[in-house]
């Protein structure tokens, strides 16, 4: 390095960059040094080096998983097995503001008294409401079987703090 040469991908291609000035050059006049590169030449060499690096990255990304492009994962292009492997690799993320069972139990409930008048079904399990079923009512006034909505609200699933019907946020 004492001779002013820098190692780079260009050096691997048989080219080198000579650097003058800074601490090692006490002459101070760039124009008098015949080996000194002009700014334009240096910019062209740096652009060429970037192209070589880009080509190397492209080759490396093509040899990896089909959904991997450099440092970016494209999960839309990944296959089922690749997605499973990714899930195993990154693990499960805990929901920081997950409600407790006590919080969920504070939501209002009602009991189905006449199933023939109940025309709705639980949007989670798709079963019709039967006489005697306990329903939990969300702040948006949608009703679900208690066992269904409690499991949903207490889970780590994406969107589990939203109503399954209208996607309004459930603040408990």
Q: Where are the domains of the chain?
A: 5-62, 96-172
Give me 86's structure tokens. 């990714």
Give the mean pLDDT of the chain.
75
> Is the pLDDT at 64 greater than 80, yes or no?
no
Q: The whole model's pTM is what?
A: 0.47
Mean pLDDT over 132-157 rounds to 91
Q: Give yes or no for a contact between 92 and 160, defined as CB atoms under 8 angstroms apart.
A: no
> Is the pLDDT at 59 greater than 90, yes or no?
no
The CATH fold assigned to 96-172 is Herpes Virus-1 (3.30.40)
């Amino acid at each position: 390095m004492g001779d002013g040469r820098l190692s780079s991908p260009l050096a691997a291609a048989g080219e080198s960059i000579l650097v003058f000035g800074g601490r090692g050059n006490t002459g101070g006049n760039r124009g008098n040094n015949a080996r000194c590169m002009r700014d334009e030449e240096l910019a062209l060499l740096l652009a060429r080096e970037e192209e070589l690096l880009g080509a190397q990255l492209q080759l490396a990304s093509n040899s990896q998983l089909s959904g991997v492009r450099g440092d970016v994962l494209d999960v839309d292009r990944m296959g089922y097995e690749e997605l499973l492997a990714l899930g195993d690799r990154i693990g499960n993320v805990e929901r920081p503001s997950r409600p407790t069972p006590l919080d969920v139990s504070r939501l209002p409930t009602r009991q189905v008294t006449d199933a023939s008048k109940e025309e709705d079904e639980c949007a989670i399990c798709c079963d019709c409401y039967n006489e005697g079923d306990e329903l939990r009512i969300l702040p948006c006034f949608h009703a679900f079987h208690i066992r269904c909505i409690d499991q949903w609200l207490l889970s780590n699933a994406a969107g589990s703090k939203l109503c399954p019907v209208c996607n309004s946020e459930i603040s408990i």
